[in-house]
Structure 1
Amino acid sequence: MNNKELAEVIVQNLGGEKNIANLTNCITRLRIDLKSRNNIDLEAIKGYDEVLSVIDQGTIQIVLGPGKVTKVANEIHESTNITVDVEGEEDSSEFDLAEDTKASYKAKQTSSFQQLFRHIGNIFVPIVPGLVASGLMLGIANLILNMADAGLINQSVLESDWYNLLQSIGGLLFGSLGVFVGINTAREFGGTMVLGGIAGLLIYAPVLGDIGTLSLFGLGLSINTGLGGLLGVIIAAYLFTKIEKFVRNRVHDSLDLVLTPLITVMVGALATIIVIQPVAGILMKGITWFLVDIMLETGGVFGGFILSATFLPLVTVGMHQGLIPVHLELIEQFGSTTLLPILAMAGGGQVGAMFAIYLKTNSKRLKNTVASVTPVGILGIGEPLIYGVTLPLGRPFITASLGAGFGGAFLSFFSVGAITVGPSGIVMIPLIADNKYLLYTVGLLISYIGGFALTYLFGFKEEMVNKLYGEAPEQPKQKDTAEAVQNDNKEEETQIKSPMTGMLRPLNELSDEVFANELVGKGIAIQPEEGKLYAPADGTISTIYPTGHAIGITTTDGAEILLHIGLDTVKIEEKVFTLHVSQDDTVEAGQLLCTFDTEAITSQGYDLTSPIVITNSNDYAAITPVEVEHVEAGKELLELK
């Protein structure tokens, strides 16, 4: 029975998809919550050879084993309307290579600088659909205006109510953008959203321009509407949130509703006008000066090349979102942003690389992946291309980025701009300013060609497929000689080192039935004495769970080892595991894979006993643990024959 058929019979014997309230998968099993226990047949599910066990403890657990469980979960998701969540990872319905790669890069975004840009992304990304819709409406209005100026339609159209309404609706969001940014900032940092909205209104309040100079403590303070831009809004709304929390913790509950918002707005507004607006104004001028005056005007085509070629590396570390307020500031000042189309060429380079890889590879699996992600890349959604293909392969990511630089240089030479923030690719064409649609299209084609040429010539080799999928190259057939037969009959031994220091326990003593009954393989368990997990042998990281509680390694000798830290620890919501490796990494015996907080785990009542299991146990005649009660990390743990 294949995975699709197995998925169908599991859903059918659980009463159909409408009876499944929640379905999650961890590294070894599916966990299902049912709406009703009528018309279910667990015994039928147990009867399939592919099912290792079915455990009914309120939540039904169907044990399928590492690798198998993910494939079946994906089949359930694709063939039904059931959302399949990966335990320990929010908003995830699939657990594939692209998601693994993306998750591993996000996990590395831990510096304060990178966290800052992630916050900015969380503030602006929810606004982007509105920006696209508003920008397209203004683009349609511009098209009508250009057609009227060219005599293609009657000038009276420009005086119609419908045209004025179209322009007005298109400009609504841009006229109140500060309010939405302020609200999202307050929400991001845990403040009251309406107070964040007031911070946004304050920055763009017309009265500031009317006053011009404000007398404060005998000093003439120069103020102006919009000074500091959206960066000022973010800082002001963040300050409002901090003031609000500070005051709320110090006033009586009965006075909270009155005093907390009043003090927040009064103190926050004063600090915004006196400090935040002038400082944010200087920062925004510095950023736009560097990007526009230095990189684009002074740097010219070279500057455009550099900006396009380096944009995708910024994406992988989460810094690209920090440019959204810069684009919007440029639109506010100049009516369009020339920076955005140049950066959009980075996606074009990735598309070109896809065509090169498709033509060069012999792997049907890679061809299918490329064919599935390329159309969305052309439409301007680049993440599947980046995280699913070029970044895991390595070199194609670099050649695609460099190829995109040529398109960026072309657009820089002709100063092609966009009237709003939105997706890249061909979808950006209607957003291009000053009727330079053809120039943008030519730049996009240049990026395609650049990414294709560099990747085809220098970026891809067939050996990279092994790195992407962990597929070993075909081994030559052994010659049928007496020596070969003798070698085949020899008993081979593989030594597995201990990944932890601690006391040993046999699997049959564990409370988890899956491990205790050796349903996913034979092995041993360790009660760790310190929060460190090391590689037990040389090999490749074949499976890595987002939470960090479970890691799978395929050794160079072919042993498939599951390292599971504690029992049921996937349910822990706090970050207690820190991964030091990623999917498909090559590791050496003794290399640190993960650190974990033993005190935090045990204080929540979780059993820290950690199973070390050989999941392909059937490939071995014997799996023998060492005969000791205590083992040091790096010492012999299991002997495989």
Structure 2
Amino acid sequence: MDNQKLAQLIVENLGGENNISNLTNCITRLRIDLKSRSNVDLEALKQLEGILSVIDQGTIQIVLGPGKVTKVANEIHENTTISVDVEEEEDNSEFDMASDTKASYKAKQTSMFQQLFRHIGNIFVPIVPGLVASGLMLGIANLITNLANPDAGMLDPSVLETDWFMLLSAIGNLLFGSLGVFVGINTAREFGGTMVLGGIAGLLIYAPVLGDVGSLSLFGIDLNLSSGLGGLLGVIAAAYLFTQIEKFTRKRMADSLDLVFTPLITVMVGSLITIVIIQPLAGLLMDGITWFLVDIMLQTGGILGGYVLAATFLPLVTVGMHQGLIPVHLELINQYGSTTLLPILAMAGGGQVGAMIAIYIKAENKRLKNTVASVLPVGFLGIGEPLIYGVSLPLGRPFITACLGAGFGGAFLSLFSVGAITVGPSGVVLIPLIADNKYLLYIIGLLISYAGGFILTYLFGYKEEMVEKLYGKETEKAEKTKAPAQQEEIIISSPLSGELRPLNELSDEVFATESVGRGIAIFPSEGKLYAPADGKVTTVFPTGHAIGITMDNGMELLLHLGLDTVEIKDNVFEVNVTKGEEVKKGRLLCTFDMEAIAGKGFERISPIVITNSDDYTEIATVNHKQIEAGDKLFTVK
């Protein structure tokens, strides 16, 4: 039975998705809270293929085993409305490495600037679908306009005066005409303010009345007013200011007066500061950014500037700072009618595509080739993260050659000033949004970036030794998997110091009945967990209470600290390793607070289990009552 069918039958036998109030998955089992027991068939659940055990202790526990439990939980999450707390497991999917690599890079975004760009991304990313839709509509209108040009002679010029054409253009311009409102609303939401007040901040920046007034006198100082001064960066700053004023005022305002006076003070004070301070400063900042990118990098720098911009864009992507360029693109569109920056930066994805093709041709590792084949199609569509985080960045050198190759496409586009009428997609999806009928030039630039990434990666960017560090040699892996059947015995050391107890004495039925594998339990005398053998960390549960290790010979070990400790949400466990990390015997994996576990009412006795124990003919535990970490624990044949 496949995992999707099993997930469906589990939900059905639990009375349907509306009967499930909570579902989480531990490292070996699903834990389910039900609203009613009337339509639940536990006996039918126990008979389902793939279910190791079903335990009813108020909360229903369905034991599926490591790895499988996460896949089944994912199927429930994707095919029902049930919210599932899902742990990621290693299943040889190409997206596992991508998500792990991406998470490690995102976790490093701790500097003030990186956090700022993350906030900007959170503000603009929800707007991007609207920008793409509006931009495509304007692109269609632009194409009709070009075809209706008398020189083209392909459409009757009167089509431009029809109601349908004017309606198409008007709808395409709707979002761009009110973009400041949406940015202000999203900024207020991002920083915890009232969204409508953020929208007012956005309206203020682009208010036509500012241009009509022209200037104001404040304390003898003449202020020049201008609608749109500061652009979308000004909107973000103003909406942030409104949020801070609102929070400050609300803390000091009586509850009975809050509804009336807090928003009034926010808008009045915020508007004054915005007009006097924020708009002029944001205007200077935006002018400076535009000057550097357009005047210096593109006009003065020419093809060299285009090369540098395209070649250095992907490092910004890896740390999330690329989202900070969205308001710059939109300001360029506002000033010049298009952004020449976006097509140049889009070449970075083209370099990645070329690099993937080179890797696919040269690679001998089947797993890597399958990964590349899976992520390459979305790369052509301008979605580069699976390529970056799944292949080129973990390998290292292909990431560099892809960036360098992309620069050639950027240099070509800068030579012809190819622009885009909106932001959003890249790759081939950007073609309809290219301004001034320069579609062919953009396509040529894209092909150049493909070729650049391919040639540099094929010649300099890939060696099979890189793959072996990630996946290991396939022939060696196959031999190691067979090794346990040929070896006399395998020695497993104890990961803990403490008192040995048989599994059948445990209060947890799953471990006591050896549903997830044979092993031993240790009542720890020290809060330190060590690696019992050389291997790879294949599972680290988010709480830190359970770690899985696959030894070099294929044996799978589950180290579970305490019983039911998945429910502990405090920082009781401090894990020192990450999923996918290679460890040596004796490596400190985790430290834990034994007293805190007991103080919260949980048992600290810890099962040590060989989850694929059916692959071995004999598992013998040492005949001791006490054991020290590092001493021999199992002899396996």
In the superposition, the TM-score normalised over structure 2's length comes to 0.85
- Please say if residues 178 and 200 of structure 1, whose CA atoms lie closer than 8 Å, have aligned partners that are also in contact: yes
- Quick one: structure 1 residues 126 and 16, their matched pair in 2 at CA, closer, same or farther if it must change by over 3 Å? same
Amino acid at match of 1:357: I
The CA distance in 1 between the partners of 2:603 and 2:178, in whole Å, is: 53
**Count of residue pairs brought into register by the alignment:** 624
The CA distance in 2 between the partners of 1:132 and 1:317, in whole Å, is: 24
- Please say if residues 492 and 532 of structure 2, whose CA atoms lie closer than 8 Å, have aligned partners that are also in contact: no
Task: Report the equivalent of 2:298.
Answer: 296
Q: Does 1:585 align with 2:587?
A: no
Task: Report the equivalent of 1:551.
Answer: 547
Return 5+ residue gaps in structure 2 as ranges.
Answer: none
The CA distance in 2 between the partners of 1:117 and 1:567, in whole Å, is: 42
The CA distance in 1 between the partners of 2:185 and 2:426, in whole Å, is: 26
Query: Alpha-carbon deviation of 1:455?
Result: 2.8
Q: Does 1:520 align with 2:516?
A: yes
Task: Report the equivalent of 1:145.
Answer: 145
The CA distance in 1 between the partners of 2:8 and 2:68, in whole Å, is: 15
- Please say if residues 524 and 606 of structure 2, whose CA atoms lie closer than 8 Å, have aligned partners that are also in contact: yes
Q: Secondary structure at the match of 1:562?
A: strand
Task: Report the equivalent of 1:481.
Answer: none
Task: Report the equivalent of 2:313.
Answer: 311
Quick check: 164-173 or 34-43, which moved more? 34-43
Q: Does 1:403 align with 2:433?
A: no
Query: Alpha-carbon deviation of 1:397?
Result: 2.8
Q: Secondary structure at the match of 2:312?
A: helix
Task: Report the equivalent of 2:611.
Answer: 615
Query: Alpha-carbon deviation of 1:309?
Result: 2.3
The CA distance in 1 between the partners of 2:386 and 2:478, in whole Å, is: 35
Provide Cα deviations, 1:405-455, integer angstroms capped at 9, x if missing partner: 222222122211111011111111011111110111111112222222233
- Please say if residues 87 and 570 of structure 1, whose CA atoms lie closer than 8 Å, have aligned partners that are also in contact: no
Provide Cα deviations, 1:35-59, integer angstroms capped at 9, x if missing partner: 7756654334434674332223455
Query: Alpha-carbon deviation of 1:529?
Result: 6.9
The CA distance in 2 between the partners of 1:529 and 1:230, in whole Å, is: 56
Task: Report the equivalent of 1:447.
Answer: 449
- Please say if residues 250 and 258 of structure 2, whose CA atoms lie closer than 8 Å, have aligned partners that are also in contact: yes
Provide Cα deviations, 1:600-623, integer angstroms capped at 9, x if missing partner: 988877767665544344546224
- Please say if residues 88 and 570 of structure 1, whose CA atoms lie closer than 8 Å, have aligned partners that are also in contact: no
Query: Alpha-carbon deviation of 1:204?
Result: 1.1
The CA distance in 2 between the partners of 1:599 and 1:196, in whole Å, is: 48
- Quick one: structure 1 residues 203 and 583, their matched pair in 2 at CA, closer, same or farther if it must change by over 3 Å? same
- Please say if residues 181 and 200 of structure 1, whose CA atoms lie closer than 8 Å, have aligned partners that are also in contact: yes
The CA distance in 2 between the partners of 1:188 and 1:603, in whole Å, is: 38
Quick check: 505-514 or 200-209, which moved more? 505-514
Q: Does 1:560 align with 2:562?
A: no
Q: Secondary structure at the match of 1:551?
A: strand
Q: Does 1:540 align with 2:528?
A: no
The CA distance in 1 between the partners of 2:492 and 2:405, in whole Å, is: 46
The aligned runs of 1:427-438 (5 Å cut-off) are 427-438=429-440
The CA distance in 2 between the partners of 1:227 and 1:361, in whole Å, is: 53
- Quick one: structure 1 residues 216 and 9, their matched pair in 2 at CA, closer, same or farther if it must change by over 3 Å? closer
Q: Secondary structure at the match of 1:474?
A: helix
Q: Secondary structure at the match of 1:561?
A: strand
In the superposition, the TM-score normalised over structure 1's length comes to 0.85
Query: Alpha-carbon deviation of 1:164?
Result: 2.4
Q: Secondary structure at the match of 2:476?
A: coil
Query: Alpha-carbon deviation of 1:213?
Result: 2.6
- Quick one: structure 1 residues 452 and 563, their matched pair in 2 at CA, closer, same or farther if it must change by over 3 Å? farther
Q: Secondary structure at the match of 2:619?
A: coil
CA RMSD, aligned part only? 3.8
Query: Alpha-carbon deviation of 1:252?
Result: 1.0
Q: Secondary structure at the match of 2:436?
A: coil
Query: Alpha-carbon deviation of 1:246?
Result: 1.3
- Quick one: structure 1 residues 32 and 176, their matched pair in 2 at CA, closer, same or farther if it must change by over 3 Å? same
Task: Report the equivalent of 2:124.
Answer: 124
Query: Alpha-carbon deviation of 1:243?
Result: 1.2
Provide Cα deviations, 1:47-82, integer angstroms capped at 9, x if missing partner: 46743322234553322222232344456678x567
- Please say if residues 495 and 640 of structure 1, whose CA atoms lie closer than 8 Å, have aligned partners that are also in contact: no
The CA distance in 1 between the partners of 2:13 and 2:626, in whole Å, is: 45
Percentage of pairs with the same residue: 72
- Please say if residues 625 and 638 of structure 1, whose CA atoms lie closer than 8 Å, have aligned partners that are also in contact: no
- Please say if residues 468 and 584 of structure 1, whose CA atoms lie closer than 8 Å, have aligned partners that are also in contact: no
The CA distance in 2 between the partners of 1:16 and 1:527, in whole Å, is: 41
The aligned runs of 1:564-575 (5 Å cut-off) are 564=560, 568=564, 570=566
The CA distance in 2 between the partners of 1:425 and 1:558, in whole Å, is: 42
The aligned runs of 1:373-388 (5 Å cut-off) are 373-388=375-390
Q: Does 1:347 align with 2:343?
A: no
The CA distance in 2 between the partners of 1:418 and 1:577, in whole Å, is: 51
Amino acid at match of 1:56: D
Task: Report the equivalent of 2:244.
Answer: 242
Amino acid at match of 2:193: G
- Please say if residues 306 and 405 of structure 1, whose CA atoms lie closer than 8 Å, have aligned partners that are also in contact: yes
The CA distance in 2 between the partners of 1:577 and 1:281, in whole Å, is: 49
Q: Does 1:101 align with 2:97?
A: no
Return 5+ residue gaps in structure 1 as ranges.
Answer: 479-483
Q: Secondary structure at the match of 2:54?
A: strand
